[in-house]
Amino acid sequence: MTSFLDLPADSGFGLHNLPYGVFSTADDPAKRVGVRLGDTVVDLAYLETHGLIAVPGAGRAPVFHGTLNAFMALGRGAWDSVRGRLQDLLSADGPDDFRASETHRASGMHPLEEVTMHLPAEIGDYTDFYSSRQHATNVGTMFRGPENALMPNWLHLPVGYHGRASSVVLSGTEVVRPKGQQKPDDGAPVFGPSKLLDIELELGFFVGPGNELGSPIPIEDAREHIFGFVLVNDWSARDIQKWEYVPLGPFLGKSFATSISPWVVPTAALNPFRVAGEAQDASAGNPEPLPYLRQSGERSLDIELAVKLKTAQMDEAETVARSNARYLYWSPEQQLAHHTVNGCNARPGDLMASGTISGETEDSYGSFLELTWRGTRPIQLPSGETRTFLADGDSVVLAGEAVRDGVRISFGEVEGTIAPAR
């Protein structure tokens, strides 16, 4: 597929991708939905208003004026129909409805640098999982020793916790260093700014139609409820987390900020990048999941991920880790099936994240906790500085892309800069 726009051959935002986002412009502050094509944002609210796209099942209600929630709720049939129509409209040899009209192109397309991006959905609930086996093993080894690295339940179910939806923020939002209680090894608890501020490299997905309360989503249907994916940085205050997490798990050490990328890559765009993933049976020495979690076909996604760090003294960000979403043991579909198996209702726009993604090599770990092994192996930076955890003024950028057979699907980036505690 070739766009009528002059895009580089290796553009990660071509017709094979068409990620969705929510934006506004200086002359129209109303939030509406767009898709990214190269460095251009195509205004779906404009196309909808002028009859250039129709959304099956929407009736007369506008779908693209506001956030993505209404579109997410309509399901796979509507998503595929709109995606196909957009690929036709925006292709070099497609119909003349849009590309041949100077009026439509002038009003329905905006340079990326002239738009303001917003959160893509009204996020009612946010859940964070713990689905990378290597990450769980690393953390367990640090705190419990290698003989007891994985907890007894880890290979039987996708472990997770309910996060804080109100503090999910868009890429570029400043992250204020949190305060909280910390427990020194040799003293009483103290209160103050976190000294061990960290990141977590994650992949998140938005729920589509969801399920009614009391009616689980079967594993074989779970993919039909996954609208698309974003990059997630679940910022973590390790010292606050360490003192508070027993017995009920993460709380203030996590709830101060979770950053996501602005563009939601459709599930359909990632289908060519599915891979088998680690075997979940005796052939790999693993217990077979209970029936409600058994997933056929290719469970994992081959998405290359990177962690970049830029301090106040550096001119350019330095890549400190490279990982891949294929390292996840539990798939997004398994996460969603487990989340709802007790009858919990997932709703359009709910965000679910994978947990930190770490590979088997030290340069593929997805957190500074692991990269520096609890601060004992400082990262050397080109500026001559070292880092174990994050300092005020540090910026962290997570990036992701899937590449295969000449097709590149980019997630863009999610960035956050640390501001001093208030």
What is the residue-wise DSSP string for 111-153?
EGGGEEEE-SS--S-EEEE--BHHHHHHHHHHHH-GGG-S-TT
Confidence band of 92 (pLDDT split at 50, 70, 90):
very high
pLDDT, mean of residues 44-58: 96
Q: What is the pLDDT of residue 9?
A: 86
pLDDT exceeds cutoff 90 at 67 = yes
Out of 104, 110, 135, 339, the active site residue is 135
Task: State the distance between the two ends of the chain, measured CA to CA, in whole angstroms.
Answer: 50
Task: Considering only CA atoms, give the Rg of the chain.
Answer: 22
> Mind giving me the DSSP string for 52-120?
S---TT-TTS-SSSS-SHHHHHH-HHHHHHHHHHHHHHTBTTS-HHHHT-HHHHHHHEEEGGGEEEE-S
Query: Cβ neighbours of residue 271 under 8 Å, at least 6 residues apart?
Result: none
Q: State the Cα–Cα distance between residues 163 and 46, nearest whole angstrom.
A: 35
Beta strands in 171-327 (DSSP E): 175-176, 179-182, 190-193, 197-198, 201-207, 226-234, 236-237, 258-260, 265-266, 274-275, 300-301, 304-310, 318-324
Give, for 42, the enclosing helix (H) or strand (E): strand 40-43
Give the global pTM.
Answer: 0.97
Least confident among 3-12, 384-393, 410-419: 3-12
Q: State the Cα–Cα distance between residues 334 and 331, nearest whole angstrom.
A: 5
Q: What is the pLDDT of residue 1?
A: 83
Neighbours of 299 (CB within 10 A): 21
Q: How many helices (H) and strands (E) does the chain have?
A: 10, 26
CB 368 within 8 Å of CB 387: yes
- The one-letter amino acid code at 261 reads S
State both tokens at 134.
Answer: 């290597």
| Residue ranges of domains in the chain, CATH in brackets | 20-118 (2.30.30.230), 126-419 (3.90.850.10)
317-373 confidence digits (pLDDT tens): 999 999 999 999 999 999 999 999 999 999 999 999 999 999 999 999 999 999 999
Q: State the Cα–Cα distance between residues 252 and 243, nearest whole angstrom.
A: 10
State both tokens at 36.
Answer: 């990214």
Q: State the Cα–Cα distance between residues 10 and 182, nearest whole angstrom.
A: 48
Neighbours of 285 (CB within 10 A): 8
Tell me the CB-side half-sphere exposure of residue 179, using CA atoms within 13 A.
Answer: 6
Q: What is the pLDDT of residue 60?
A: 87
268-287 confidence digits (pLDDT tens): 999 999 999 999 999 999 99
Q: Please indicate whether residue 135 is annotated as part of the active site.
A: yes
Least confident among 38-47, 96-105, 335-344, 354-363: 96-105
